[in-house]
Structure 1
Amino acid sequence: MDFLKAAIVEYFVIQVLIQDISCETWQVYLPQKVIGIQGSCVVIPCTFNYPGVEKQSNDITILWYKDNENSQQYTEIYHSKNNLISLADSYILVGDSGKKNCSLKITKLQKKDEEHYHLRVEIAQLGAFSFIKQTAYVSVSGKNLSHLSF
């Protein structure tokens, strides 16, 4: 019986050591600025990392926020588990969260879209992290092209 207890304790100690060696931190990688033409679309390329073992897409919730610098408030513009928030398909997740890709497409780009955007990732049985300090600024230039058909 003592041998079994010792083996179990050893197993857990090894697992903890392995976790510590492979431990990652919450990170996001996105450009500081993206430029788009009014009336077209723009993609904010984005990847993220989190501690622990890899999760499936259905365990990961992606949320995107538009930042209002003047009031320091955030408007939720995309929620991967709630399609009603996607604001009439103006914001589309084009990345695969299971592959740690959180790229966001903004369609029919307008001057009102010119703002800072940040990401929040929620992972089942792990936790959540808001990347408030790492934002991408979307700059909108040019004339409105939304009346053209391609």
Structure 2
Amino acid sequence: MKELSLVLLCLLRISRKGVQCNGWSVHVPSDVTGELGKMVILPCTFTHPYKTFDRALTAIWRIKEPYNGTVIFKCVSQSSSELCKTAISHKNKYKLLGNPRHKDLSIRVDNLTWSDSERYFCRVELAGDIQDKYESRNGIKLHVIAAPRIINITVSSSRDHTFQARCTAEGEPAPALTWSGPPYSNLSSTSSSSHRVTKELRSLTHDGKYTCTAVNSHGRAEGAIYFYKFRASDSSSFMILIFVPLGIKVVILLVILSFTAFPREGHSCRSAPTRIVTADTARPSPGQGQHPGAAEGPAGPIPTDLLPQGAQNRPWLRDRGSDQPRVAWNCFISKLPSTMQ
């Protein structure tokens, strides 16, 4: 009964510096502030009535509420010569900085997130005939702060074919959002949830750059979007720019293929075998006479006036031992009148 009365007395005696009872006390600050993504230290010191203490010692940290809150950190030291060995560290983000044997239970919290904004309670347990347990009742309130950050900025359309710009930012304190850019209507709406704020700009009508600015006591951030309506006239011009050059290339390709597949007329002299016809070798057709001053072809004499221009004066076109010119028949025949072919 005496022990119960002592415990109740300890719970009732709370000073500005901490909890005190018969030489026991726990000292913690009421508030601690840390920056999002960084680390913070939660201080906690205590006193006890013993001059020396060599028995097992346990250090515990809880969140939300004292005594029954969720344990996030726990370490145990079996003797004064042994360090406090970590038994629990939620998500491995809590590290003991102090030395419980020196009455210091301070811990470090790494990589702060929004969910770390909680109230923290430190506790010490000393093993013995009567186990002594003391815990801070008011705890430490951890505040996580952050400069503004734009996390999303978009443009969307509605069923009535109007466009809206939406900007979402986060920070602590919650940032104030403003839109700037081309002339726009004053139709806007703002919604917030904890450290996050969204502002929507309705009925966009002008093309251009729209900028969203987020500001709080720790800084500012900006995000921008470029809005351009898609018009039918622009669509036609765009299609012309694409398909006209493509059509020109197709036509050029077809012309090249046609020249490759179908040679031009009059070029048979380059593809057909050359037949040399001279006055000595040409044979007159039966019943026909030799045309004076003409070479002969397979169908009869060839008038010299139908020979290629200058052929009569070119010695290399004459057969040896003859004054008659020699011609490539397949080249020459293409130049004959239809009455002679």
Q: What is the aligned partner in structure 1 of residue 111 from structure 2?
A: 108
Using the TM superposition, give the Cα deviation of residue 63 of structure 1 relative to its aligned residue in structure 2, in angstroms: 0.4
Question: 2: distance between equivalents of 1:102 and 1:119?
Answer: 7
Q: Is the 8 A contact 1:24 1:49 kept in 2?
A: no
Structure 2: gaps spanning 5 or more residues: 1-20, 77-84, 149-341
Q: Is the 8 A contact 1:59 1:124 kept in 2?
A: yes
2:142 maps to amino acid: V
TM-score by length of 1: 0.69
Kindly indicate whether structure 1 or structure 2 has the higher relative contact order, using CA contacts under 8 Å at least 6 residues apart: 1
Using the TM superposition, give the Cα deviation of residue 25 of structure 1 relative to its aligned residue in structure 2, in angstroms: 2.8
Using the TM superposition, give the Cα deviation of residue 62 of structure 1 relative to its aligned residue in structure 2, in angstroms: 0.1
Q: Is the 8 A contact 1:36 1:140 kept in 2?
A: yes
Segments ≥4 residues shifted beyond 3 Å: none
Using the TM superposition, give the Cα deviation of residue 143 of structure 1 relative to its aligned residue in structure 2, in angstroms: 4.8
Q: What is the aligned partner in structure 2 of residue 3 from structure 1?
A: none
Q: Give 2:70's match in structure 1, choosing from 66, 75, 90.
A: 75
Question: 2: distance between equivalents of 1:122 and 1:73?
Answer: 15
Using the TM superposition, give the Cα deviation of residue 50 of structure 1 relative to its aligned residue in structure 2, in angstroms: 1.7
Q: Give 1:26's match in structure 2, choosing from 9, 24, 27.
A: 24
Structure 1: gaps spanning 5 or more residues: 1-22, 145-150
Deviations 1:75-100 (A, max 9, x none): 10001037352123211110000100
Shift of the 34–102 alpha-carbon distance from structure 1 to 2, 3 Å rule, reads same
Q: What is the aligned partner in structure 1 of residue 52 from structure 2?
A: 54
Q: Secondary structure in 1 aligned to 2:91?
A: coil
Percentage of matched positions with identical amino acids: 28
1:120 aligned onto 2:123: yes
TM-score by length of 2: 0.32
Shift of the 53–66 alpha-carbon distance from structure 1 to 2, 3 Å rule, reads same
Using the TM superposition, give the Cα deviation of residue 119 of structure 1 relative to its aligned residue in structure 2, in angstroms: 1.3
Question: 2: distance between equivalents of 1:88 and 1:132?
Answer: 23
Choose 114-123 or 78-87, whichever is displaced more: 78-87
Question: 2: distance between equivalents of 1:47 and 1:132?
Answer: 10
Q: Is the 8 A contact 2:37 2:111 kept in 1?
A: yes
